[in-house]
Structure formats: C-alpha cells, structure tokens
Amino acid sequence: MKIESLKLINFRNYERLEINFHSILNLIYGKNGSGKTNLVEAIYVLGLTRSFRNASDKTLIYDGKDVSKIEGKIVHKSMNLFTVLLSKDGKKVKVNDHKVSKISEYISKLPIILFHPDDLRFIKDTPSTRRKTLNISISLLNLDYLKVLNQYNVLLKQRNAYLKSMMINNRNSSDYLDILTSKLVDSGLYIYECRMKFITNINHYLKSFYESISGKEDLVIRYFSDYEGKTKEEILELYQKMIQKDLSFGKTNIGVHTDDLRFFQDGKDLKDYGSEGQQKNAIISYKFSELELFKVKNGSYPIFILDDLFSELDEEKVHNILKLLPQDIQTFITTTNLALFPSLDSFEYKSIAVKDGKIVREDVHERRK
Ligand SMILES: Nc1ncnc2c1ncn2[C@@H]1O[C@H](COP(=O)(O)OP(=O)(O)OP(=O)(O)O)[C@@H](O)[C@H]1O
Ligand SMILES: [Mg+2]
C-alpha cells in the first residue's frame, strides 16, 4: 500500500498543495508550527476520515473557508483515487469519484499505522485510554471487532439504565435483566477473545523489537480482564454475585469495559517505573509489532507515519529504529532537525521542506552505502 501523490485544498494551514511522495521514505522537515504534522494528518484523514489529534472536522478546514478537500492516488495492486471532503455539513468520501456511503467500508481500504507523541498516553494514561488504543489496533486487523464492540456498548447502556429502574422500583431480580446480561456476556466474550489473541500475537514480536531499539529484551504486555480464564457460566455467576453492588451503583461493575493492559519490563510496570525514553521505546516496539501482524494477516504493510518520534532520541536510537523499517513499506517521518538523520545514507528517500503551509523544497536522495 503506497500513496503516490496528495492534493490538498484548504486543509489546516495548506491552502493548496500538490505533492508526489517517495515510495519508500519521506522525510518532512521544518520549524515548529510550519505544517509537518498537518501534512501527515492529511494522509491520516484520507485513510481514516478523522484526525488522530482529537480534532473536530471544523478545525481541519483552513480558517475562514467552508470546505476542505483531500485527494490521494493510492497504489495497491491497481491505482485508485481516494477523496475526503470536509464541510460544516459533514463529510463525504469517494473512491475513483464514486461516493462511498458507508464510512466503515471506506476506512478499511487505506490502512495506516501512526506514531504520535500523544501515544505515550497508551502507557501513562487511564485504562480507558489504553482500551481505546487497543480497540483501534484490533479493528485494523478485524473488521467485525468494532461492530461487536458497538453492540456491547449499546447493551451496557441498556443494562445500566435497567439497573437504575430496578433500583427505583425496589426490585432485585428480573428475567429481562438476565437476558441483557447473557447478551452482554456473549459480546464481551468475543471482545475478550479478540483482545487476548491480539496481545498474545503482539507479545510474539514485541520483545525482539524492544531489544533492537533499547538493548533490553524483556518487554511484555499483560492483559487484565474480569473474564480471564472463565466460561460463560462462570462469568454469569460473577454477575449474580455482583448484583447488589450493581443495583446500588446503578451500573455494571464487571465486564470488558473495565479491562486493562500494562507494559512490563523485567517484571516492572513501565507506567510506574519506566523513564520517558523507555516508554517511548515500548510504544515504538508496539507499532513495529503491529506492522508485522498486519502484514501476516493481509500480505502487505499499511502506510507508516512517525510524527515527531525522533525529537528526544539520541542518534544511535534513531539509527536502530530506522534499521528496523521493512523494505517494502512506505514511511513518513516528520522532524524539526534534519541533522539527526546521518544514518539515512543507506536509504533512498525524499526530503520535503515545509514552511508556513507550503512545500519550499523537495530533494530525492540516492542510496550512498
Ligand atoms: N484550520 C487551520 N487553518 C489555518 N491554519 C491552521 C489550522 N489549524 C492549524 N493551523 C496552523 O498550523 C500550524 C501548526 O501546524 P503543525 O501542527 O503541522 O506544525 P508542525 O510543523 O508539526 O510543528 P511542530 O514541530 O511544533 O510539531 C499552526 O501555525 C496553526 O496555527
Ligand atoms: Mg508537529
């Protein structure tokens, strides 16, 4: 999967932009606030129709304009033109000028894996942030996962609302509650199994990537779930035991909506013990592992974006990470500091200089080693 070219109209600080990309490595450089992240954000929005920056569609449109257009030529077996149109009235997506009415159908066509400095939240933040990231990772590999997750969330809301009504009416058993619980557990078990399988598979790669980047080999993700090692019957018993607490809180206290996962290095939780650098290395190892899982499932790599990854890493780490990039993947890297990249001699790549929402220089570099 590669992006051959990109055209932007009124996206963020780009009023107009047309650019051809290198099929392997694109290095986007420029000062703070010049538009580097905006450019990779445009690629991300082209693939996923929404930003990774928790931004509303309105903030993506150039200030004062009404409509924004992102258009990219994507090569994957054949060439296809992808378009995302953003406006105050919502968004439209097209492939080869044909409107795609289902966004979920569109977003499976242009898979992207991204590193962004905020991703450190995957380690540092709350379980809910970690579940969100995990959900995005799994849905990239399994299209049914999001559907079941939505079902689960609907059932959870219904169950919580019903618990509240039971509490008001002073009841502590109900056939309807049993039906809701049983359905919730069915969806929950599917989600549990997907998460367990995904984490087991990620762990298969994680160690060796972490070793290559940091020199330490022991990194593992542990998954924590109320459903762990239990049959449906055993889980239903748990809900039975919990019923008084559920009723008094008016909410469901156990289930996959309380799952968590943690990164452990040498038996210690990186959330509590890890340095910023170790946490960053763990996240980047996770991203590389995701790439491999995607390749195993789909036969080719997704597009890989590394936004501001290298800012606080030393030269040796930069070198170690670049060495890990697979041959047949298209990567986009942003940096404020081109001097950090001496090791790029062994790559063929394009450097792209950005200033105030414009491309001011493009150079294709031959491999020198
Ligand atoms: N909707 C918009 N319309 C016009 N300009 C915008 C819009 N949204 C953001 N900008 C501008 O884009 C610039 C930020 O761009 P971007 O985040 O890409 O910077 P960057 O090059 O990645 O910087 P850094 O090195 O700090 O990460 C800011 O100057 C901001 O004002
Ligand atoms: Mg940036």
What tens digit of pLDDT does each residue of 118-134 get? 999 999 999 999 999 99
**Same structural domain, 96 and 205:** no
**Same structural domain, 294 and 323:** no
Q: Ligand 1 centre and the CA of 42: distance in Å?
A: 12
* Residue with more model confidence, 313 or 329: 329
**Same structural domain, 129 and 258:** yes
Q: Ligand 1 centre and the CA of 38: distance in Å?
A: 6
Q: Ligand 2 centre and the CA of 65: distance in Å?
A: 22
For the chain, give the secondary structure using H, E and C. Answer: CEEEEEEEEEECCEEEEEEECCCCEEEEECCCCCCHHHHHHHHHHHHHCCCCCCCCHHHHECCCCCEEEEEEEEEECEEEEEEEEEECCEEEEEECCEECCCHHHHHCCCCEEEECHHHHHHHHCCHHHHHHHHHHHHHHHCHHHHHHHHHHHHHHHHHHHHHHHHHHCCCCCCHHHHHHHHHHHHHHHHHHHHHHHHHHHHHHHHHHHHHHHHCCCCEEEEEECCCCCCCHHHHHHHHHHCHHHHHHHCCCCCCHHHCEEEEEECCEEHHHHCCHHHHHHHHHHHHHHHHHHHHHHHCCCCEEEEECCCCCCCHHHHHHHHHCCCCCCCEEEEECCHHHCHHHHHCCEEEEEEECCEEEEEEEECCCC
Average pLDDT in the chain: 94
**Same structural domain, 93 and 127:** no
Q: What's the confidence (pLDDT) of residue 104?
A: 81
**Ligand 1 site-directed mutation target among 34, 51, 340, most atoms within 8 Å of CB:** 34
CA distance 261 to 352: 38
What tens digit of pLDDT does each residue of 70-99 get? 999 999 989 999 999 999 899 999 999 999
> Of 283, 301, 319, which residue is a domain's last?
301
What tens digit of pLDDT does each residue of 209-229 get? 999 998 887 999 999 999 999
**Ligand 1 site-directed mutation target among 8, 11, 13, most atoms within 8 Å of CB:** 13
CATH number of 278's domain? 1.20.1050.90
Q: Ligand 1 centre and the CA of 31: distance in Å?
A: 11
64 lines ligand 1 (CB under 6 A): no
**Same structural domain, 134 and 201:** yes
**Same structural domain, 217 and 328:** no
**Same structural domain, 275 and 135:** yes
> Of 273, 301, 329, which residue is a domain's last?
301
pLDDT greater than 90 at residue 311:
no
**Ligand 1 site-directed mutation target among 31, 37, 53, 54, most atoms within 8 Å of CB:** 37
**Same structural domain, 92 and 131:** no
Neighbours of ion ligand 2 (CB under 5 A): 37
Give residue 8's domain range: 1-111+310-369
**Same structural domain, 271 and 180:** yes
* Residue 309 identity (one-letter amino acid): L
From residue 131, alpha-carbon distances to 11, 90, 108, 139 in Å are 30, 27, 20, 12
pLDDT greater than 90 at residue 21:
yes
**Same structural domain, 76 and 204:** no
> Of 282, 301, 320, which residue is a domain's last?
301
Ligand 1 atom nearest 336 alpha carbon: 25
Q: Ligand 2 centre and the CA of 39: distance in Å?
A: 9
Ligand 1 atom nearest 334 alpha carbon: 22
pTM value > 0.85: yes
CATH number of 362's domain? 3.40.50.300
**Same structural domain, 258 and 355:** no
Count of structural domains within the chain: 2
**Same structural domain, 129 and 261:** yes
